[in-house]
């Protein structure tokens, strides 16, 4: 698919420079360079400059906002030759509770930073980010989210330690090495003639519909996963499957594999445990729903690969 990397999070320009991760001396030299910058994350929310079209906000590595403990700085890579790191900001006195909701729209300032700098949920900000900012934010968020849930060795249960500038954890007890995981998920643009299959999960905002999706299983090909998930969720048999595009999805650690599936059947038999509703929509009906956002059916939000694929299907640009 042409321009597949135009989807949010997929067009990163970062040079990950993986060969530097295991070289503490080189990393220290990079961190000391005047152009080195660090992306702060608070409760997995990156720092944004609300006064600069929602761009990421980068700080010096030793900025006071990181606290006296100065937690580990993870090396993201080089952006146009300039070192880029990420580091966690601890809670501060009076820090608010999480706002909650399907997508947290809150923007939280820090008492030690200018008012235009705010922490915000990446999903709420993603559609307005540049390719570079989106890729850096996705990398940092996904990396820290993995460390939050993998503090112990999966082999022996002992506490593990951060290694290779955040890109590995090592177990001092049994010597096992653990690496950040990525979970593959198929997301399907299932079409039947002039219609596309859409579904909604329980708990989604009223009227929100998206493409069907599901995690791949061990020993399963992408094509088999598309057919299985579509049949399990909606009772629709799928024949030909072709790959379209992919999207890193750091919520917390998925890779969305976008495919088109050609439906062999039309009657929907949904699994109520998976879908609250499912329906076929014609191109004309989808166009209408996008033109009138307050209607009964609202396709996926901008920035998601679901919306990316639907938009290109509408424009007949899937090739």
Judge whether residue 294 has pLDDT over 80.
Answer: no
Q: What pLDDT does 99 receive?
A: 72
Q: What pLDDT does 88 receive?
A: 95
pLDDT tens figures, 51-103: 876 799 999 999 999 988 778 999 999 999 999 999 999 999 999 988 777 88
pTM of structure:
0.94
pLDDT tens figures, 257-284: 999 999 999 999 999 999 999 999 999 9
Sign of CA dihedral 258, 262, 268, 270: negative
Per-residue confidence band for 9, with pLDDT thresholds at 50, 70 and 90: very high
Which residues have CB under 8 Å from 206's CB, separation 6+?
none
Judge whether residue 296 has pLDDT over 90.
Answer: no
- 183-314 folds as Nucleoside Triphosphate Pyrophosphohydrolase (3.90.79)
What are the sequence ranges of the domains in the chain? 4-149, 153-180, 183-314
Which contiguous run of DSSP H or E holds residue 239?
Answer: strand 238-249
Judge whether residue 132 has pLDDT over 70.
Answer: yes
pLDDT tens figures, 153-191: 999 999 999 999 999 999 999 999 999 999 999 999 999
Q: What pLDDT does 1 receive?
A: 87
Q: What pLDDT does 299 receive?
A: 84
Judge whether residue 133 has pLDDT over 90.
Answer: yes
The DSSP code sequence of 56-70 is E--B-TT-GGGTTTT
pLDDT tens figures, 181-234: 999 999 999 999 999 999 999 989 999 999 999 999 999 999 999 999 999 999
Mean pLDDT of the chain: 94
Closest by Cα among 261, 215, 258 to 238: 261
Q: What pLDDT does 53 receive?
A: 66
| Cα(143)–Cα(126) distance, integer angstroms | 17
Judge whether residue 317 has pLDDT over 70.
Answer: yes
Long-range contacts made by residues 249-252, C-beta under 8 angstroms, separation at least 24? 249/9, 249/138, 249/185, 249/305, 250/9, 250/122, 250/138, 250/139, 250/141, 250/142, 250/145, 251/122, 251/123, 251/141, 252/142, 252/145, 252/146, 252/149
């Amino acid at each position: 698919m042409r321009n597949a990397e135009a989807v949010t999070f997929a067009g990163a320009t970062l040079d990950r420079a993986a060969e530097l991760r295991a070289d503490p001396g080189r990393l220290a030299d990079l961190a000391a360079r005047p152009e080195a910058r660090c992306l702060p994350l608070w409760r997995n929310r990156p720092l944004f400059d609300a006064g600069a079209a929602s761009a990421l906000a980068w700080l010096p590595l030793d900025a006071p906002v990181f606290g006296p403990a100065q937690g580990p700085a993870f090396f993201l890579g080089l952006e146009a030759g300039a070192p880029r790191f990420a580091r966690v900001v601890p809670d501060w006195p009076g820090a608010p509770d999480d706002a909650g909701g399907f997508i947290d729209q809150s923007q939280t300032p820090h008492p030690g930073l200018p008012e235009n700098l705010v922490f915000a949920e990446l999903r709420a900000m993603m559609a307005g980010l540049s390719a570079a900012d989106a890729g850096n934010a996705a990398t940092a968020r996904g990396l820290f989210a993995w460390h939050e849930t993998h503090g112990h060795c999966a082999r022996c249960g002992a506490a593990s330690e951060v290694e290779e500038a955040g890109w590995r954890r090592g177990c001092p007890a049994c010597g096992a090495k653990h690496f950040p995981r990525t979970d593959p998920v198929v997301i399907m643009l299932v079409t039947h003639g002039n219609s596309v299959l859409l579904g909604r999960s329980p708990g989604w905002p009223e009227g929100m519909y998206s493409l069907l999706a599901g995690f791949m299983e061990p020993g399963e090909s992408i094509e088999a996963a598309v057919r299985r998930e579509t049949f399990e969720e909606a009772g629709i048999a799928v024949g030909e499957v072709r790959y379209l595009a992919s999207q890193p999805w750091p919520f917390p650690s998925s890779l969305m594999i976008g495919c088109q599936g050609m439906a062999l059947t039309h009657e929907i038999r949904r699994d109520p445990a998976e879908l609250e509703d499912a329906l076929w929509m014609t191109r004309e009906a989808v166009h209408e729903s996008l033109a009138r956002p307050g209607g009964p059916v609202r396709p996926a939000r901008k920035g998601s690969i679901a919306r990316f694929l639907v938009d290109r299907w509408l424009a007949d640009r899937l090739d």
